[in-house]
């Protein structure tokens, strides 16, 4: 059975492209580019909490990197360096090799240097830490939403939640859509290019990991504002096509997580620029509501009646 340092050398020691000193010493050495500031985030994945026991190791490695890269996208930062601390129940070389390949492939896809980490024996737990760069003062934070701003979301949120419901609860999905939803759950694609392009346009932003309503509530709380979402503008069509049940589709869209799409606010006068950006990136961007000057969260139904809604999202310490 290989020891800790042999495992690190064989599976977790990767070449780098923009790092002064990578893995292999007591610390990596990195140098931000002139005029840039660092953005740093950690997002842990725990077996039984964030992924099923027996999960595909390649996809698990990909997702561990992707959810952290998404945190950089949510700030408008360019992801540059990442570490991985991992607890392993056993030194299964074939399993570790696939995990490392998935993690490495995601890093390579987003040009992120894997510069170190740590391994230990214990319950399966992956804890990356990511470092990104962005021009000083240009970070897109959660506290900038203002009255009258449009609310936008990227892509097709809710598909990952349907994939999870299919695997965990046996929710029946239409053939063809089933594979797409499960793929979205296991292999998220962080919206890095969009996040960078939104510098100077978005007033507030985050990535949707715990559900649209729950994550939007973080922006509202930090910005001291409220919001109304328009039912007729919500991107629900693919979800209805996938499950053919309105209640499941709406729940996945509003309260499901794991899509890692970007939810952001933009001043109304910038609406044309966001529409042009959607065309340039060939990425659907949906205007789903607007920011209000009074606290609260409402859903405006198709008949024009606005109903107060509860911002429910995933809570690690809430009821199971």
Q: Dump pLDDT digits (tens) for 154-170.
A: 999 999 999 999 999 99
Does 92 count as an annotated binding residue?
Answer: no
Q: Does domain 150-302 have CATH number 3.30.70.1020?
A: no
Does 41 count as an annotated binding residue?
Answer: yes
Does 120 count as an annotated binding residue?
Answer: no
pLDDT at residue 71, as a whole number: 97
- Confidence band (pLDDT; 50, 70, 90) for 101? very high
pLDDT tens for residues 133-153? 999 999 999 999 999 999 999
Domain residue spans in the chain?
4-135, 150-302
Q: CA 102, 106, 111, 112: dihedral to nearest 10 degrees?
A: -70
Does 233 count as an annotated binding residue?
Answer: no
Does 42 count as an annotated binding residue?
Answer: yes
Regarding the domain with residue range 4-135, which homologous superfamily does it belong to in the CATH classification?
Answer: PurM-like, N-terminal domain (3.30.1330.10)
Does 169 count as an annotated binding residue?
Answer: no
Does 70 count as an annotated binding residue?
Answer: no
Rounded Cα distance, 13 and 303, in Å: 58
**Contact between 155 and 188 (Cβ < 8 Å):** no
Query: Could you give the count of Cα atoms lying within 13 Å of 33 in the half-sphere of its Cβ?
Result: 12
Weakest-pLDDT range from 214-228, 259-273, 305-319: 305-319
Does 43 count as an annotated binding residue?
Answer: yes
151-172 per-residue burial string, b: 16 or more CB within 10 A, e: under 16? bbbbbbbbbbbbbbbbeeeebe
Q: What pTM was computed for the model?
A: 0.91
Weakest-pLDDT range from 23-27, 83-87, 121-125, 224-228: 23-27
DSSP state letter for 23: B
Does 71 count as an annotated binding residue?
Answer: yes
pLDDT at residue 313, as a whole number: 47
Does 207 count as an annotated binding residue?
Answer: yes
Token code pair at residue 17: 């492209």
């Amino acid at each position: 059975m290989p020891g800790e340092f042999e495992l690190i050398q064989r599976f977790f020691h990767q070449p780098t492209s923009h790092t002064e000193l990578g893995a292999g010493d007591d610390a990596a050495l990195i140098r931000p580019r002139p005029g840039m500031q660092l953005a740093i985030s950690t997002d842990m994945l725990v077996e039984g909490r964030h992924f099923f026991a027996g999960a595909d190791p390649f996809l698990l490695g990909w997702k561990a990197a992707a959810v952290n890269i998404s945190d950089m996208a949510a700030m408008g930062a360019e992801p540059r360096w990442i570490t991985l601390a991992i607890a392993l129940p056993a030194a299964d070389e074939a399993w570790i090799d696939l995990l490392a390949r998935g993690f490495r492939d995601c890093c390579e896809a987003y040009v992120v240097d894997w510069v170190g980490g740590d391994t230990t024996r214990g319950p399966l737990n992956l804890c990356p830490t990511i470092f990104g760069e962005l021009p000083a003062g240009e970070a897109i934070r959660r506290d900038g939403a203002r009255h009258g701003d449009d609310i936008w979301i990227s892509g097709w949120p809710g598909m990952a939640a349907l994939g999870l419901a299919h695997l965990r609860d046996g929710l029946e999905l239409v053939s063809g859509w089933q594979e797409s939803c499960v793929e979205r759950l296991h292999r998220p694609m962080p919206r890095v290019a969009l996040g960078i392009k939104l510098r100077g346009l978005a007033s507030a932003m985050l990535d949707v990991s715990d559900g649209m309503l729950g994550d939007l509530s973080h922006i509202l709380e930090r910005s001291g504002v409220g919001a109304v979402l328009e039912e007729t503008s919500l991107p629900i069509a693919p979800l209805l096509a996938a499950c053919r049940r309105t209640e499941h589709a709406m729940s996945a869209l509003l309260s499901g997580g794991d899509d890692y799409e970007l939810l952001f606010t933009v001043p109304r006068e910038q609406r044309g620029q966001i529409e042009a950006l959607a065309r340039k990136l060939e990425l659907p961007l949906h205007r789903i509501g607007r920011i209000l000057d009074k606290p609260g969260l409402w859903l405006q139904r198709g008949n024009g009646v606005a109903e107060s809604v509860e911002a429910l999202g995933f809570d690690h310490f809430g009821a199971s």
